[in-house]
Structure 1
Amino acid sequence: MAGRILDDYGRQAREGMEPSLAEFLAAEEEAAAENRAAFERAGLKQGRSARPRPPDTAVKILDRGWSAPLVVGPLAGLAHPEGTPAVVRAAGAAVLPAVVDASTPHPLADLAAAGGGPLWLRTYAAGDPGATPRPVAEAEEAGFAALVLTLRPQDGVRPPRAADVGWTDLERLRASSPLPLIVAGADTAADARRAVDAGADGLVTGSLRGLPALADAVAGRCSVLLDGGVRGGADVLVALASGADAVLVGRPVLDGLLAGGEAGVTEVLDGLVRELADAMRFTATPSVAEAHRAAIADGPGPAPAARQAHRGAPEPQDPGTGGARSADLRKTDLHPSLSDPVLDTMNFLNEVTHRYPDAISFAPGRPYDGFFDTEQIFTHLRRYLDHLAAQGRTPQEIRTAMYQYGPTAGQIREIVADSLRADEDIDVPDESIVVTVGAQEAMLLVLRALISGPDDVLLVASPCYVGITGAARLLDVAVTPVQEGEDGFSCAELEAAILRERARGRRPRALYVIPDHSNPSGTTMDAPTRDALLELAERHGILLIEDSPYRRVSPGVPLPALKSLDRSRTVIHLGSFAKTVFPGARVGFAVADQRVVDDTGRTGLLADELARIKSMVTVNTSSLSQAAVAGTLLAAEGRISVLNADAATYYGNAMQTTLRNLDARLPAARRAALGVRWNEPTGGFFLTVHVPFQADNAALTRSAQEFDVIWTPMNYFYPQGGGHQALRLSTSYLTTADIEKGTARLARFIEAQSAERKAS
């Protein structure tokens, strides 16, 4: 969304840049990539104003008036310290605050005298409880207007207790310094509230996606600023409408400095303010205080009501009715999750797919339907009806079983239990099973039951299936990712995450994981890791939510399911018949045999609690769908492994065909030169390809438009950012011919995109 002037400065700044600085800035760009992707997705909607007037860009924050909601700098850490005086002077002339890094070689008093505008000092957590972040006293004497404390320690400083980093510094600064204190790095709602309770006057977050929730968490008690990814005035408006009071602009300012010195910085700041005014004029936003979600066509989320109240903004009115309130619902009055990008990822893929119907798509993770015969539906239903009759059910009872709602927990639980015993060596009582509307409902029920308060946390293996993070977002459940390495899941990383969360006063409740051929990465957890994971979960008192959609769509004998190894009721097992038996029936299940004890000492099963929740959500799973699935299972005596043998072979062949063709199109020497690599799953639907460029929505659009091939950006699957240079390929729905053509097109796209990146 950046304007032409800002783009020109960016290009000029990159020309002749020192390699060390370029490498440093590349890392900065990587950190801001998620915000850039969110800004690029966010379009502005043209508005109409009944009372046109010039937009008012002025703001008042920390009791100081500024010309625009911009904070200048800092200059990407130590990227260009000698340019600080020029930046300070340009910011002062623009009546904007500037952030000076504590590492600056310039005396703070000299900078304050040079600038004439408000200066903020950025300092870091000392890491040593006895140390004081420097040079706070010097800043106070120089007349600085605020302190910005970054909770992480400065590079090279290793604190004795990582979980305590920054908080003692915050408390010490608040007690010792009269300057307004802004805290950077408190990116979760719990940390934000903790910072405000400790006396923070403002917060800086690096996540546009998390901005609405963070602003809601502080509920107008302090200012909220966004740092990272802002490249133009339209981006500024998107951030304001999403809950920010102002934004930090470091990279555009550095580009202006490198390309044009102080005059370049001045032109960049003037350009940003002009672009912001243009965006406000286009969206009929009269003032910064009235920036509202209605101005954005798509984006990270609404401007929370608390932020609007904090700014003193009036309720938005329909510009086409002369100020009268519209009968339409406002998105800001709906749950914030409805504006979260995680809920829009699949919509974007669908849009691209429909826009380019001739493209070969490696995106959809759905089963191949060539194995299904429409007439089989009636055979399956008849078999189940005969089963009921053989059990002694009367015609009236059979009619009721088919036409009525049926029991909430499901009417085919014993058939599901028999199948689990036959195929998975999972021996649980029927009453521990709840039959659900797909595995997605099972996730929703389990999260609702387990997460009882704001300090409860769901851990997820990251990258992870968007369905679980989407369900968590809908339920306001805090998600903490446990990063997977390229060699698979790490129990050491999980234990570290558990200890970190507990040190922060939060309670890890469960870990969600797909042990077999996971979505999206395609990795499979090895046997030693499964044993270690069960031991760790039992020792730390957390549950494991095992999702198992891909075990029976893969050739060969799978490793034992976690639930089959579970001897302490640590595992909640989720399953689905959508990938194997009958996709359209949408039947899944949860195995929840954990005991639940109430205040009177009475004991029940977690499955009973899930059924209670389900009774208020879907009431029951379709009796007709259950009957079709049950009839199919009965035909194979419960053994999906037998029923799905041909399909598993097909999927395995599709995966191997894809891998062979990738290797032929991009041989080892060529991909080593490019920096391309991929994993080699033995089954499932997915594999991961790592590339040397940003594999974002813009790259996907180019891939579809110019090369007629579609894939899924891996960054969709990282809850807190990541995967920006990787893409997911799904092999399940393609013929051999499609795979051969698709991989050839994909290789050409990777070559072209890599060459363009190298040239720039």
Structure 2
Amino acid sequence: MVRLHTDRLHGSVGAPVLGSISFLNEVMGRYPGAISFAPGAPHPDTLPEVDVQRFTDRFLRHVMARGTSPARARQLLFEYGPSGGLINDIVAEALHRDHGIDAPPECYVITVGAQEAMLLVLRALFRSPDDVLAVANPCFVGITGAARLLDLDVVGIDETADGLDVDRLERACREARAAGRTLRALYVAPDYSNPGGNRMTLDCRRRLLALAAREDLLILEDNAYGFTAAAGAELPPLKALDTERRVIHIGTFAKTAFPGARVGFVVADQSVTGTGDDRTLADVLATLKSMVTVNTSPLSQAVIGGLLLEHGGSLEALSRAKSELYQRNLRLLLDALDRHLRDPTPAGVHWNRPDGGFFVRVHLPVPADTELLEVAAAEYGVLWTPMRQFYLDGAGDTQLRLSCSYLDPDEIEEGVRRLAAFLTKETGH
């Protein structure tokens, strides 16, 4: 029998960041009766409205209205399809209408979720071992995991109350140059980031774009949670403010539609020179994609395209009810924390108060490690996510993340009651 030793496999195989999700799934499987604040998954109540046949038929009518024969339109669903995507025009119109992003459909690539978009963008942009990726700290494990797969060096930039620490990013650019390296790109989620829950102010967004222009820096913008902003509190994405095409905008339909479709997108309207013809970065990404997943499922694209068309081609209309549900859950979570963990609050325990997104961060006076998670699950019937995996520097050792997206109101109330009992008893040791 062949036995493969990890010493002969890629270093990412044993990287903790790649095993973090599997670990949480394993713990949830061992404690099925526990109330879990761990998964950042869409609420089940947002899924029953998905009528695959109706949305597929709606997409086919759209294609035929643009001159495609009925036979050819149906054939599109069963072929490989173009690597760049089938629903680019629908997605581009939606982002232009609702978010002010002005990029033509040919500058879009429809991907297998946002995760593929991140991997493709990193592969395209990073050529030299002297190139460095900056990320917000704490950071979504999807981007740091993708960087680990590609052996990229990553530097963390802390967040402030206003969003990313732009001054620290500027120093990181100078430090890289002094070391003979280049800070090539920054990954950031300006709206209610996972896991931090932070939101970048409009002034911070403009300062970041100005710095990117001065430092010749590209920005990878992840907009998975922007739709959860309260009505009237929306801020423009970085891409809508981008006048120099420095922002590569990454999105997903996992939360606004449903995750099982595995459909995301990337807006990459940067010009690529030196090949003898005019190309965009989107063209380059589509070429890379043809060697990774070939294309995104045409059937999945048709469902998402039809779903958007059924909502007037508007992302805002598609996500309005979901946004209200997540706003409700976040209020319930914060209210429950206030009621169950006040008068008195256990010493050293405090939490942030985001006004959107899925996540709340809780600070403890003790390490929030896997051993403590086992105690919470086994003795108190409540699960959460350790924050250590989201930090590059170990700063999250005493923090945990609570996600409210997947739970019902009564589960949030009971879960916080259990969490309060756990924190009151266990964090005093």
Range into which the TM-score falls when normalised by the shorter chain: over 0.9
Match of 1:692 in 2: 365
Match of 2:243 in 1: 567
Question: Per-residue displacement from partner, 1:439-493 (whole Å, max 9, x unpaired)?
Answer: 0000000000000011111000010000000000001111111122355321011
Q: How does 1:409-420 map to 2 (within 5 A)?
A: 409-420=84-95
Match of 2:143 in 1: 468
Secondary structure of the corresponding residue to residue 145 of structure 2? helix
Please give the alpha-carbon distance, in whole angstroms, between the structure 2 residues aligned to 1:383 and 1:470.
Answer: 37
Count of residue pairs the alignment pairs up: 428
Match of 1:407 among 39, 61, 82: 82
Q: Does 1:518 align with 2:193?
A: yes
What amino acid sits opposite 2:350 in the alignment? R
Question: TM-score, structure 2 length as denominator?
Answer: 0.97
Match of 2:383 in 1: 710
What amino acid sits opposite 2:297 in the alignment? S
Secondary structure of the corresponding residue to residue 251 of structure 2? strand
Q: Which runs of 5+ in 1 are unaligned?
A: 1-325
Match of 1:588 in 2: 264
CA contact (8 A) 1:679 1:688 kept: yes
- Bigger RCO (CA 8 Å, 6+ sep): 2
Please give the alpha-carbon distance, in whole angstroms, between the structure 2 residues aligned to 1:599 and 1:487.
Answer: 41
Q: Does 1:364 align with 2:55?
A: no
Q: Does 1:346 align with 2:17?
A: no
Q: Does 1:743 align with 2:419?
A: no
Secondary structure of the corresponding residue to residue 590 of structure 1? strand
Please give the alpha-carbon distance, in whole angstroms, between the structure 2 residues aligned to 1:727 and 1:388.
Answer: 47
Q: Does 1:646 align with 2:327?
A: no
Offset of residue 374 of structure 1: 6.2
Q: Does 1:394 align with 2:69?
A: yes
Q: Does 1:503 align with 2:178?
A: yes
Please give the alpha-carbon distance, in whole angstroms, between the structure 1 residues aligned to 2:374 and 2:309.
Answer: 46
CA contact (8 A) 2:162 2:200 kept: no
Please give the alpha-carbon distance, in whole angstroms, between the structure 1 residues aligned to 2:348 and 2:426.
Answer: 12
* Identity value in percent: 49
Q: How does 1:38-437 map to 2 (within 5 A)?
A: 326-373=1-48, 376-437=51-112
Match of 2:349 in 1: 676
What amino acid sits opposite 2:357 in the alignment? G
Match of 1:170 in 2: none
Please give the alpha-carbon distance, in whole angstroms, between the structure 2 residues aligned to 1:604 and 1:643.
Answer: 32
Match of 2:158 among 483, 499, 515: 483
Please give the alpha-carbon distance, in whole angstroms, between the structure 2 residues aligned to 1:688 and 1:371.
Answer: 24
Match of 2:252 in 1: 576
Please give the alpha-carbon distance, in whole angstroms, between the structure 2 residues aligned to 1:574 and 1:487.
Answer: 22
Q: 1:724 to 1:697 in 2, by over 3 A?
A: same
Please give the alpha-carbon distance, in whole angstroms, between the structure 2 residues aligned to 1:385 and 1:519.
Answer: 35
Secondary structure of the corresponding residue to residue 721 of structure 1? coil
What amino acid sits opposite 2:356 in the alignment? G
Q: Does 1:546 align with 2:217?
A: no
Offset of residue 635 of structure 1: 1.0
CA contact (8 A) 1:423 1:638 kept: no
Match of 1:271 in 2: none
Match of 1:635 among 310, 313, 319: 310
Offset of residue 369 of structure 1: 2.1
Q: 1:415 to 1:508 in 2, by over 3 A?
A: same
Match of 2:120 in 1: 445
What is the Cα-based RMSD across aligned positions, in Å?
Answer: 1.3
CA contact (8 A) 1:554 1:651 kept: no
Question: Per-residue displacement from partner, 1:236-275 (whole Å, max 9, x unpaired)?
Answer: xxxxxxxxxxxxxxxxxxxxxxxxxxxxxxxxxxxxxxxx
| Greater Cα radius of gyration, structure 1 or 2 | 1
Please give the alpha-carbon distance, in whole angstroms, between the structure 2 residues aligned to 1:554 and 1:376.
Answer: 26
Please give the alpha-carbon distance, in whole angstroms, between the structure 2 residues aligned to 1:720 and 1:432.
Answer: 36
What amino acid sits opposite 1:692 in the alignment? P
Match of 2:296 in 1: 621
Offset of residue 696 of structure 1: 0.8
Please give the alpha-carbon distance, in whole angstroms, between the structure 1 residues aligned to 2:49 and 2:275.
Answer: 51
Question: TM-score, structure 1 length as denominator?
Answer: 0.55
What amino acid sits opposite 1:492 in the alignment? D
Match of 1:726 in 2: 399
Secondary structure of the corresponding residue to residue 361 of structure 2? strand
Question: Per-residue displacement from partner, 1:292-316 (whole Å, max 9, x unpaired)?
Answer: xxxxxxxxxxxxxxxxxxxxxxxxx
Question: Per-residue displacement from partner, 1:21-71 (whole Å, max 9, x unpaired)?
Answer: xxxxxxxxxxxxxxxxxxxxxxxxxxxxxxxxxxxxxxxxxxxxxxxxxxx
CA contact (8 A) 1:575 1:589 kept: yes
Please give the alpha-carbon distance, in whole angstroms, between the structure 2 residues aligned to 1:488 and 1:520.
Answer: 13
Q: 1:676 to 1:544 in 2, by over 3 A?
A: same
Q: Which runs of 5+ in 2 are unaligned?
A: none
Please give the alpha-carbon distance, in whole angstroms, between the structure 1 residues aligned to 2:47 and 2:384.
Answer: 26
CA contact (8 A) 2:250 2:267 kept: yes
Match of 1:663 among 338, 343, 348: 338
Please give the alpha-carbon distance, in whole angstroms, between the structure 1 residues aligned to 2:51 and 2:73.
Answer: 20
Please give the alpha-carbon distance, in whole angstroms, between the structure 2 residues aligned to 1:487 and 1:448.
Answer: 30
Offset of residue 735 of structure 1: 0.6
What amino acid sits opposite 1:660 in the alignment? D
Secondary structure of the corresponding residue to residue 77 of structure 2? helix
Please give the alpha-carbon distance, in whole angstroms, between the structure 2 residues aligned to 1:697 and 1:499.
Answer: 37
What amino acid sits opposite 1:448 in the alignment? R
What amino acid sits opposite 1:753 in the alignment? E
Question: Per-residue displacement from partner, 1:687-709 (whole Å, max 9, x unpaired)?
Answer: 11111110011111111111110
Match of 2:210 in 1: 535
Please give the alpha-carbon distance, in whole angstroms, between the structure 2 residues aligned to 1:487 and 1:389.
Answer: 47
Offset of residue 400 of structure 1: 2.1
Offset of residue 621 of structure 1: 0.2
Secondary structure of the corresponding residue to residue 484 of structure 1? strand
Please give the alpha-carbon distance, in whole angstroms, between the structure 2 residues aligned to 1:617 and 1:428.
Answer: 25
What amino acid sits opposite 1:628 in the alignment? V
CA contact (8 A) 2:360 2:401 kept: yes
Please give the alpha-carbon distance, in whole angstroms, between the structure 2 residues aligned to 1:726 and 1:752.
Answer: 17
Please give the alpha-carbon distance, in whole angstroms, between the structure 2 residues aligned to 1:436 and 1:372.
Answer: 21
Offset of residue 522 of structure 1: 0.6
What amino acid sits opposite 1:589 in the alignment? F
Please give the alpha-carbon distance, in whole angstroms, between the structure 1 residues aligned to 2:123 and 2:46.
Answer: 36
CA contact (8 A) 2:162 2:204 kept: no
Secondary structure of the corresponding residue to residue 688 of structure 1? strand
CA contact (8 A) 1:657 1:736 kept: yes
Please give the alpha-carbon distance, in whole angstroms, between the structure 1 residues aligned to 2:49 and 2:415.
Answer: 29
CA contact (8 A) 2:42 2:258 kept: no
CA contact (8 A) 2:163 2:204 kept: no
Offset of residue 346 of structure 1: 0.8
Match of 1:89 in 2: none
Secondary structure of the corresponding residue to residue 38 of structure 2? coil
CA contact (8 A) 1:433 1:591 kept: yes
Offset of residue 497 of structure 1: 1.1
